[in-house]
Amino acid sequence: MNEKPAIPAPLDPDFQPAVLANRNYLAAARASGRVVLLVLGLEREGGQVSRFETVVTPGTDPATLRYVERLVKFLLWARGGWKLHVGGPAPIGEFIRRTYAARGARKFDCGIMALAYGRKFEVVVTTPAKVPTARETQVPAGGHLRGCRIGFDLGASDYKVSAVVDGEAVFTEETPWDPARQSDPAYHYHHLSAGLHRAAAHLPRVDAIGGSSAGIIVDNEIRAASLLRAIPKKLFPQAASIFKRIQREWDVPVVVMNDGDVTALAGALSLRQKGMLGLAMGSSEAAGFVDRQGRILGWLNELAFAPVDYNRAAPADEWSGDRGVGALYFSQQAVNRLLPAAGIVRPAAMELPERLKEVQTLMARGDERAAKIYETIGVYFGYTIPHYADFYDCRHLLILGRVTTGQGGDIILARARAVLQAEFPEVAAQTSLHVPDEKSRRVGQAIAAASLPALQRKR
């Protein structure tokens, strides 16, 4: 599982793509003639269940345990759930139970899942036949365009608002903010409220408000989000309920969804396509999925925490403590951590958004050091697209976010396409990569979010 890619990442020669490690393991396991079935089932709210089937060798060798643990980690953040059913060899299941426990190596993941779903996370070790059958939510995507609407998108370094009339944006605005360091929920509320009022000034009336926010959103409430990491526990309910407060004050339909799902919706609307995986490379990595029937399945899609690099010395995420997860490869964080390898030095006090702007400025001047950063992210992306395709039945992939803005974004896509053509021609043949125009790259989510609420019928 230590094989390196044929096309190396210029600034990260030790990058070990998850897709190669997984496929190499499965090839070796099947060649051994000793494979057994492993079925993983993740249970969410309302009895929803996602299933994933694979094969493993029956022992507890390090390669098998590594493969299963990383697979569980990916599925947990892609699908979500409060209960994990491990149907397969009992020793493997027991290893996962110990790892994904309140005092285990993945205690962060267990804690976030418990917070998101309101139940203690647990692992059930069972047989493949006893893993519950799949039962997915099938929520129609938004796409409600009629009327005068406001859409907003809350990111870690800025928030965006759009005023939209019958599907056309008449006003868009980006405003810097620093929510992750603010301990008073009033900061978050007043910023959002002020943005909504500025957008409303460009409309004759407001019929509905739709929102996109980083984090786990359930029933218009933030259950977990890095945006609120500084909020004291006793004040968290006040911060988590700001969208419901907005609904009461404006007295119009309000629908807020995870920013990744809105990314996918933006792609489905703009391209009029289904089977859409949307990825936003902003302050973190956001993802969402609209299936080939045009439905949202209720998955978590928090790929910022899903592993993409199996290098044991890969960078560690400051929040989860895990290594090689998506946020460090497809976001402003990725640009920042590649600065030293590129030979670009910036003041320690400079924030991530400003560091990205500096790299973009260098890129516009033709600086080869900046180009190497984008080439490296492009190689990451090229090897991660087929990894995502092993879990998402998608035919279209939409890329948004500040990291994709300007010439750097073009380099990322060019390098990703080169990797796909050289290493994964079957994925390249069936997956179309899309980017919106420059303006939509930055504010497309806010515009798509405006289409989330259905209008109330007049009495």
> Any idea of the CA torsion for 61, 67, 68, 74, to the nearest 10 degrees?
160
* pLDDT range class, residue 50, cuts 50, 70, 90: very high
Confidence at residue 314, expressed as pLDDT on a 0 to 100 scale: 97
Highest average pLDDT, of 226-240, 292-306, 329-343, comes from 329-343
Three-state secondary structure call for residue 104: coil
Q: Which residue has the higher pLDDT, 171 or 46?
A: 171
- What does the pLDDT look like over 125-138, one tens digit per residue? 999 999 999 998 76
DSSP codes of every residue in 206-265: --EEEEEESSEEETTEEEE-GGGTTS-GGGHHHHHTHHHHHHHHH-S-EEEEEHHHHHHH
d(C-alpha 285, C-alpha 262), whole Å:
13
Taking the model in full, what pTM does it have? 0.85
* pLDDT range class, residue 311, cuts 50, 70, 90: very high
Across residues 203-225, what is the average pLDDT?
Answer: 89
* pLDDT range class, residue 62, cuts 50, 70, 90: very high
Q: Which residue has the higher pLDDT, 451 or 337?
A: 337
Residue % of the chain over a pLDDT of 70: 95
Phi, psi angles (nearest 5°) of residue 106? -110, 40
- State yes or no: pLDDT of 1 exceeds 50: no
Residue recorded with tokens 């259905």: 454
- State yes or no: pLDDT of 217 exceeds 90: no
Confidence at residue 49, expressed as pLDDT on a 0 to 100 scale: 95
Across residues 433-452, what is the average pLDDT?
Answer: 70
Across residues 432-445, what is the average pLDDT?
Answer: 65
Confidence at residue 209, expressed as pLDDT on a 0 to 100 scale: 97
Summary mean pLDDT of the chain: 92
* Vertex 21 angle, CA 20 and 22, to 5°: 90
* pLDDT range class, residue 443, cuts 50, 70, 90: very low
- State yes or no: pLDDT of 2 exceeds 60: no
Contacts of 132 (CB under 8 A, 6+ apart): 41, 43, 49, 51, 85
Residue % of the chain over a pLDDT of 90: 73
Relative orientation angle of helices 368-389 and 18-32, to the nearest 10 degrees: 40
d(C-alpha 402, C-alpha 37), whole Å:
42
List the single range of 60-69, 139-148, 309-318 with lowest mean pLDDT.
Answer: 139-148
Domains and CATH numbers, the chain: 34-130 (no CATH), 139-262 (3.30.420.40), 264-445 (3.30.420.40)
- State yes or no: pLDDT of 143 exceeds 70: yes
d(C-alpha 396, C-alpha 381), whole Å:
15
